[in-house]
C-alpha cells in the first residue's frame, strides 16, 4: 500500500503543470474565458482587456463625414470572438450556446497618412458585448443578450446591464432578413468568420 503515495504525488504534479500550461493559454490567447454575471444579471467585464487577444473578426467603419449631419455609429468597430467559440464555429459553422462577441469602439483618429486619404484608428471609446445563452436569454430572439459597458474612453465600467430587446436586436434581425447576418451576427462584414466556415475557401 505504501507504493501508492509516490504515484499519487507524481500524478498531482503533472496535473498542476498541465493547469499552468492551460492558464498560459488563457493569458496569451483568451482561451476559454467564462463570462460572469453579478447577482442582478449584469455582465462583468472580462479582466485586463482580455478580448483584445481574442480572435479578431472584422472592422466596419461608418464615419460622420459620410453620414451627415451625424452617423449613428461614427466609430470603427473592432469585433472579437472568444477563441473557444471560434473553434466551435470552425468545426460546425454554428454559433454555439455561450458564444461571446465583444465590440470595441475606436475613434477615427486621422483621415490622411503617408498611404493616402482614408480612416485610421484613433483612441478606444467604448465597449459592447453580445452573448448567446439559451437559458439566461431564453425569451430573446436567437437567445442573444446585448450589453453596453461604455461609449466613453477607458477605463470602462466593470459591469453592464442587459439592453432592452428592441434596442439592438431589431437591427440584427433585419440583418438576418437581408442575408447580411446569420443567427443575428453580421457575418457579411466579418471575413475571418466567413473564411473559417467548414467547407469555405479560407
Whichever of 41 and 152 has its CB closer to a copy of itself, that residue is: 152
Cβ 110 to a copy of itself, closest distance in Å?
7
Contacts of 18 (CB under 8 A, 6+ apart): none
Whichever of 139 and 199 has its CB closer to a copy of itself, that residue is: 199
d(CA 105, CA 59): 10
Q: To 5 degrees, how large is the angle CA 51–CA 53–CA 56?
A: 80
Whichever of 159 and 188 has its CB closer to a copy of itself, that residue is: 188
Cβ 157 to a copy of itself, closest distance in Å?
14
**8 Å CB contact between 120 and 75:** no
Torsion-angle region of residue 83: left (phi > 0), alpha (psi -120 to 50) or beta?
A: alpha
Whichever of 39 and 48 has its CB closer to a copy of itself, that residue is: 48
Cβ 12 to a copy of itself, closest distance in Å?
10
Cβ 84 to a copy of itself, closest distance in Å?
7
Amino acid at each position: 500500500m505504501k507504493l501508492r503515495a509516490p504515484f499519487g504525488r507524481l500524478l498531482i504534479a503533472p496535473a498542476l503543470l498541465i493547469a499552468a500550461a492551460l492558464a498560459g493559454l488563457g493569458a496569451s490567447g483568451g482561451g476559454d474565458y467564462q463570462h460572469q454575471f453579478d447577482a442582478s444579471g449584469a455582465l462583468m467585464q472580462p479582466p485586463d482587456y482580455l478580448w483584445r487577444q481574442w480572435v479578431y473578426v472584422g472592422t466596419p467603419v461608418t464615419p460622420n463625414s459620410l453620414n451627415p449631419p451625424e452617423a449613428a455609429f461614427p466609430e470603427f468597430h473592432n469585433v472579437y470572438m472568444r477563441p473557444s467559440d471560434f473553434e466551435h464555429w470552425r468545426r460546425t459553422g454554428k454559433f454555439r450556446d455561450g458564444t461571446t462577441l465583444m465590440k470595441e469602439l475606436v475613434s477615427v483618429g486621422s483621415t490622411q497618412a503617408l498611404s493616402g486619404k482614408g480612416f485610421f484608428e484613433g483612441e478606444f471609446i467604448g465597449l459592447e458585448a453580445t452573448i448567446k445563452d439559451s437559458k439566461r436569454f431564453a425569451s430573446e430572439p436567437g437567445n442573444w443578450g446585448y450589453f453596453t459597458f461604455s461609449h466613453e474612453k477607458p477605463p470602462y465600467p466593470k459591469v453592464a446591464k442587459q439592453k432592452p430587446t428592441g434596442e439592438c436586436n431589431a437591427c440584427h434581425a433585419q440583418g438576418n432578413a437581408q442575408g447580411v447576418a446569420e443567427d443575428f451576427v453580421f457575418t457579411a462584414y466579418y471575413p475571418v468568420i466567413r473564411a473559417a466556415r467548414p467547407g469555405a475557401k479560407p
